[in-house]
Amino acid sequence: MDEFQFHFQPKVDVQNNRVIGYEILLRNKEQNPHYPAAKMEKIIHSKKEHSHFLNWFQEELVRLVQLFPTVQFSINFAPRQLFYPETTDFFTTMQPYAKQLAIEITEDAPLFAASTENVDSLTIDQQLQSIFASIKAKGYCIALDDVGSGKNSLDEVLKYTPYLDQIKFSIVKCTKKDIKEETLHLFLGAWQRFSEDYHLDFIVEGIEDQATSEGLKEQGIVLQQGYHFGKPSKCIKKCR
């Protein structure tokens, strides 16, 4: 796994102008690093390769959290990865650091488990709920990524709300579709209210300029992430 490296992007509470943690983003080691989508797809589809990847990931993560014991980190898992027993072992091994970690569940294809061993498509939701409950019981924070703007619709979010601590909304997909600003703020307001009703942190990512950040702050959305606060970097600074 020498071709992979960690990059970090800050999450910011703009109300207090404070970095509250970092999302760990997997990148390759090319001159212009980017997420190795094709490579990771092959890894996720192979139990053996995925096991090797988790071993590397665990070693790197332990080294990181021990180096920065007061910093909060988010790590991404695709739903397909959660069905491997090696992933369960990973969460058990990393449990001493659970309070320092948030597990971000990315969006995935509706039939994401079709090629995963021992998964009945009729019970995917029930099995995921059980997996989420197990992760939660180990003390991890769980976040659901790309709500409302991807495949994680309201219906999907409601299935897993009892196990969630955070939901994340990316405005990038909305702005690319030329949604009117007023409509976008109403849409975000609905998700913000949903988060308040279910006692979830609501994080908006994809913030690329001060005007957008200020507009969301005025709306009461203060947990933000995006290039405006820092592009993914190999270096981090301790949270204040």
The pLDDT confidence band at residue 17, using thresholds 50, 70 and 90, is very high
Give the pair of three-digit tokens for residue 114: 């079709």
How many CA atoms within 13 Å lie on the side-chain side of 177?
A: 10
Range in 72-76, 111-115, 169-173, 196-200 with the lowest mean pLDDT: 111-115
3-12, 56-65, 68-77, 227-236: least confident range: 227-236
96-109 pLDDT per residue, tens: 999 999 999 998 75
- Rounded Cα distance, 142 and 103, in Å: 5
Long-range contacts of residues 41-50, Cβ cutoff 8 Å, at least 24 apart = 44/78, 44/80, 44/81, 45/115, 47/84, 47/86, 47/117, 50/81, 50/84, 50/86, 50/87
Placement of tokens 């405006």 in the chain: 228
Q: DSSP readout, 146-178?
A: SBTTSSB-HHHHHHHGGG-SEEEEESHHHHHTT
Name the residue among 55, 109, 48 with its Cα closest to residue 78: 109
Whether pTM > 0.75 for this model: the answer is yes
Name all contacts of 35-43 with Cβ < 8 Å and 24+ positions apart.
36/3, 36/4, 39/3
CATH number of 4-225: 3.20.20.450
| 216's tokens | 């969301």
Work out the average pLDDT over 209-218.
95
Which residues in 19-33 are b (16+ Cβ under 10 Å) and which e?
bbbbbbbbbeeeeeb
- Residue 204's DSSP bridge partners are 169, 224
Mean pLDDT of 122-127: 80
Tens of pLDDT, residue by residue over 1-16, are 788 999 999 999 999 9
d(CA 40, CA 60): 17
The confidence band for 83, taking pLDDT boundaries of 50, 70 and 90, is: very high
Question: What pLDDT, on the 0 to 100 scale, is given for residue 29?
Answer: 92
